[in-house]
Amino acid sequence: MINPFFKNKGPFNIDHLLKLSDIANIENFKKIKILDIKDLATATNKDISFYHSNKYHSFAIKTKAAFCITSKNIAKSLPKDCKKIIVDNVLIATAKITKTFYPNSVTDDFDMDVKDINKSSYKKNVKFGKNVLIGKNVKIGKNCLIGHNTILESNVVIGSDCSIGSNVIIRNSIIHNNVSILDGCVIGKKGFGFFPNKEINIRYPHIGIVIINDHAEIGCGSTIDRGSMSNTVIGKNSYLDNQIHIAHNNKIGDNCIIAGQVGFAGSSTLGNNVMIGGQAGISGHLKIGNNVQIGGGSGVIKNIPDNTRVMGYPAKDLKSFIKDNR
C-alpha cells in the first residue's frame, strides 16, 4: 500500500543511509539499493528494518528485510539472509534513516492547501457546518455530517454515514463507515516520540496513519496519534469516551468500551471486547487480551491474558485487589 500522506524519497544506496546515520559500512554494501524502511512484519527483501527489543522476537525471526538495524545482544534472532547493522542506539539510527526517506514526517506544520469547501464537489447528501476547511484529494462518503470549524486535511478519507463534530482536526487518517467523531477531537497528529538530548531533543519520525473502523465512536476532546512505523488502529464498534488519549501504534480491538480520561502509551495491543474504567493508564508495548476488564484508575504495566479482570496500581487480579483492600 502506497502511503498517500508521506512521500517516500527513496530508493537510496545502503552506504548513503549508513553514512547519514554515522554507521560504519564495514561490509561495503554500496551497490545495494533500499526502497523503504518498514517494521519487521511488513519489510521485504528490498527494505531496511529495525529490531531493538526482545519483545519483538517473534517478528524478528520471520522478517524478510534485506537489512536490519539492531544491537549486538539480540542480532542472533534475525534470519541468516538478513544483513545485520549493529549500532549503539537502534532507535536513534532508525530515526535518522526514516527521516531520510520521509523528511516531512517529523514536523506537523498545518496544511497550506486547505480551502473553504466547494459543496458542489461532494455528494448532495453531505451536510457541512460553517467555516469548514478541506484539503486536496479529501474523500467523503454519502450521508455524512461535518460540523462547524472542522478541518479535514489533504488525502483524508471519510467513509459513508459518518458524523464529524465541530472543531475537529483530522489529518493522516482513514475513517471507515458509520463512525462518529465528537466535538474537539484531534486525529492523526504526530506522536510523542523523541530521544532526550541536553542540546536538542531528537524527534522520532511518524510515517504511519490512523485507521478508525466501522461503527466506532470517539468522544469529545479525544486525541489519537498516528503511528510511527505502523498504524494506529481503532477496531469496529469500539466506543471511546471523552478526553481519551491513544498514542502512536496502538491497536484497539473490536467491541471495546473505554471510559473517560484513559491514557495509552505507545505500541500496545488491546484485544476484542475489552472494558476499561475511567482514568486508567496503559503502559507501552503491552498486550491486553480478549474479554479483559480493567478497573477505573488502574495502572497497567504488564501484559494481561484473556478473560481477566484487574484493578489497582500496579493492576492485579480483581479478587486479589478486593482482598488486599478490605
* Amino acid 88: pLDDT: 86
Q: Which residue has the higher pLDDT, 95 or 255?
A: 255
| Domains in the chain: boundaries | 12-105, 115-324
* Amino acid 3: pLDDT: 75
Q: Which residue has the higher pLDDT, 252 or 7?
A: 252
pLDDT score of 79 more than 70? yes
Region for 61 from its dihedrals, namely left if φ exceeds 0, alpha if ψ lies in -120 to 50, beta otherwise:
alpha
Instruction: Describe the strand order of the beta sheet including 67-70 as a list of residue ranges.
Output: 36-37, 47-51, 67-70, 83-86
Name 326's Cβ contacts closer than 8 Å, sequence gap at least 6: none
Average pLDDT of the chain to the nearest whole number: 91
pLDDT band at 229 (very low <50, low <70, confident <90, very high): confident
* Amino acid 214: pLDDT: 98
What the block records as the C-alpha cell of 67 is: 537489512
pLDDT score of 87 more than 70? yes
By percentage, how much of the chain surpasses pLDDT 70?
Answer: 94
Q: How far apart are CA 326 and CA 323, in angstroms?
A: 6
Q: Which residue has the higher pLDDT, 230 or 239?
A: 239
Averaged pLDDT for residues 31-39: 91
pLDDT score of 326 more than 70? no
At residue 204, φ and ψ (nearest 5 deg) are -90, 130
* Amino acid 21: pLDDT: 67
Q: Which fold has domain 115-324?
A: UDP N-Acetylglucosamine Acyltransferase; domain 1 (2.160.10)
* Amino acid 246: pLDDT: 98
pLDDT score of 156 more than 90? yes
Q: How far apart are CA 214 and CA 227, in angstroms?
A: 19
Averaged pLDDT for residues 50-78: 94
Q: Which fold has domain 12-105?
A: 3.40.1390
pLDDT band at 26 (very low <50, low <70, confident <90, very high): low
pLDDT digits (tens, 9 = 90+) for 104-120: 888 888 888 888 876 65
Averaged pLDDT for residues 36-49: 94
pLDDT digits (tens, 9 = 90+) for 275-313: 999 999 999 999 999 999 999 999 999 999 999 999 999
Q: Which residue has the cell 468500551?
A: 257
Query: Which residues are catalytically annotated?
Result: 248
Q: Residue type at 242?
A: N
* Amino acid 2: pLDDT: 63
